[in-house]
Structure 1
Amino acid sequence: MARSGVQYEDVQRAIDTLLQRQETPSVQKVREVLGTGSFTTISDHLREWRARRETNRDLPPTQALPEALQSAMSELWASAQESAHQALSHYREEADRRVAEAQEMAGQARREAEDAAQRESALAEQLHRAQARLEELGALASRVEAERDQAREAEQRLRQERESRQAELAQLRERLETREAAHQQALAEQAAAHRQQLAQEEQRHEAAESRLMALLDEARQQRQADDKQHRERQQRLEARLSRLESQLEEQRGLAAEAEKARQEAQQQADRAGQQQQAEAQARRVGEERLEALLDARGSENAALRGQLEVLQGELAALQARLAERPLPPFVC
Structure 2
Amino acid sequence: MSLSYDAVADVARTLESEGKPVGARAVLDVLKTGSLTTIQKHLLRWREEKSRLAPPDLPESLHQTILAFAAAEAKKGQLHLEKLLDETRSALTESLRTGEEQESRILALEGELRERDGRIGDLSGQIRHLDVRMAECQERESREREEAHALREDLARATLRLEELPRLREETSALRQKLEQEKEARTAAEKDSAVSRALLAQKAPSHKPSGRA
Q: TM-score, normalised by structure 2?
A: 0.47
Q: TM-score, normalised by structure 1?
A: 0.32
